[in-house]
């Protein structure tokens, strides 16, 4: 990859903090946007600021065509069979909530999850446990935070779940779970499979037909797209059986005072006026990411992880969460110093060195609380980060360690 050319595409990377170049290692929370995405967002507001699928004038037709084109691009990007299997949402959280509130889950039926789920794939099921009487069962990972197939198969046998809802790549430690294996085992046990792919779709090829999952949700803001746009894939056979979660304008063909007739897929799940600029920006992000090349991207991120992990391991008292091998942790290095507030470390990195990282429990409170760990500092890279930035991060953490 030509990193100089790539970095020139991202306006934020030209910023300086107190005379230092901005160093952004918070990509697992939100990635930066290239100019191509910003331009496409602006194009909507300057060239076709109208409603899709409602009015019949030329501006509305242009928006309708643009939205349809992006839906087709997303379909191809994640390997779905039909464009109508792609539902535009605000983010992964909304996609999972859509499934949780639209799928027929009865009292006593079980949803099976891992012990490393983001709150987006935990709280919706806890809510249904509280309000609808479903059962939520949690499968522990191995001691180094990897998928435990033995425990998973035991849980399938004991719990007989209606749904397995599993994270593909953990935002806690970057570990990617074997979703194809999980899906095969779950289907064999008679369960549907929902996948949280928020940290996967931006970093590796994800093909839903190869994984054979029933549902898969992702967010645009983690793959260079705008905030407030994401997607849910669902098999047509599953989506057709489900009632809409949000209903109202643009989800129905006609209404009376006593009944309604909903539209077919995907409109029946896309209530109200949509974020057309966000959808178009997402399309530009998909185009940009497609051109990078997955092999180059993954190799680069793994290389940066090795540099950071190796350097941090030289610091006394520092612990890295997850497997020891950096190759198993994708683009994420999460670490903590015993007895030191992770927010203090992150604040010092920001104020003294212009390095942006995440600190806290990363919406995986359940995992940290279960282990009595206060939180961690999470450095997460993307393809536009450099070796020099990785080295700067290590040296800055070493300097901060001498302060605290």
Between vectors from CA 185 to CA 182 and to CA 191, what angle results, nearest 5°? 95
CA distance 228 to 232: 13
Cis peptide before 35 (omega within 30 of 0): no
Beta-bridge partner residues of 377: 335, 359
Contact criterion met (CB below 8 Å) for 297 and 383: yes
In three-state secondary structure terms, 103 is coil
Q: Which of 29, 51, 238, 363 is catalytic?
A: 363
Q: What is the DSSP letter of 34?
A: -
CA distance 291 to 181: 29
Helix pair angle (276-292, 35-47), 10° resolution:
150
3-state helix, strand, coil in the chain (%, to 5): 45, 15, 40
Helix or strand (DSSP H, E) at 35? helix 35-47
CA distance 404 to 396: 13
Phi then psi for 314, rounded to 5 degrees? -80, -5
Helices within 334-386 (DSSP H only): 342-353, 365-371
CA neighbor of 314 nearest in space, from 391, 245, 236: 391
> Is 363 annotated as catalytic?
yes
CA neighbor of 386 nearest in space, from 288, 303, 296: 303
CA distance 1 to 304: 14
Q: What residues are labeled active site? A: 363
């Amino acid at each position: 990859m030509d990193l100089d050319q790539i970095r020139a595409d991202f306006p934020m990377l030209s910023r300086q903090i107190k005379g230092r170049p901005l160093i952004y290692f918070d990509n697992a929370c939100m990635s930066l946007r290239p100019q191509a995405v910003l331009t496409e967002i602006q194009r909507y507001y300057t060239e076709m600021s109208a409603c899709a699928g409602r009015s019949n004038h030329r501006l509305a037709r242009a928006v309708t065509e643009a939205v349809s084109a992006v839906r087709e691009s997303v379909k191809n990007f994640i390997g779905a069979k039909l464009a109508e299997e792609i539902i535009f949402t605000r983010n992964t959280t909304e996609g999972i909530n859509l499934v949780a509130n639209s799928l027929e889950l009865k009292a006593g039926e079980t949803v099976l999850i891992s012990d490393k789920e983001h709150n987006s794939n935990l709280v919706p099921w806890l809510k249904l446990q509280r309000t609808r009487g479903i059962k939520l069962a949690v499968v522990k990972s191995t001691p180094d935070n990897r998928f435990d197939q033995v425990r998973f198969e035991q849980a399938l046998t004991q719990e007989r779940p209606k749904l397995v809802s599993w994270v593909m790549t953990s935002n806690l430690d970057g570990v990617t779970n074997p979703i194809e294996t999980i899906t095969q085992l779950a289907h064999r046990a008679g369960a549907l499979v929902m996948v949280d792919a928020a940290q996967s779709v931006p970093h590796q090829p994800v093909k839903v037909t190869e994984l054979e999952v029933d549902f898969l949700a992702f967010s645009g803001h983690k793959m260079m797209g705008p905030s407030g746009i994401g997607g849910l894939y669902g098999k047509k056979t599953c989506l057709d059986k489900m009632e809409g979660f949000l209903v109202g304008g643009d989800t129905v063909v006609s209404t009376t005072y006593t009944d309604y007739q909903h539209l077919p897929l995907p409109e029946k799940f896309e209530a109200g006026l949509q974020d057309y600029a966000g959808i178009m920006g997402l399309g530009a992000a998909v185009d940009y990411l497609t051109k990078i090349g997955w092999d180059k991207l993954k190799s680069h991120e793994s290389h940066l992880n090795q540099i950071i992990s190796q350097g941090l391991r030289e610091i006394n008292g520092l612990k890295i969460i997850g497997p020891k091998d950096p190759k198993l942790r994708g683009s994420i290095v999460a670490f903590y110093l015993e007895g030191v507030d992770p927010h203090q470390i992150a604040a010092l990195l920001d104020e003294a060195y212009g390095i942006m990282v995440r600190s806290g429990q990363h919406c995986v409170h359940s995992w940290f609380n279960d282990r009595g760990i206060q939180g961690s500092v999470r450095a997460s890279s993307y393809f536009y980060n450099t070796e020099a930035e990785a080295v700067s991060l290590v040296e800055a953490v070493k300097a901060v360690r001498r302060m605290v």
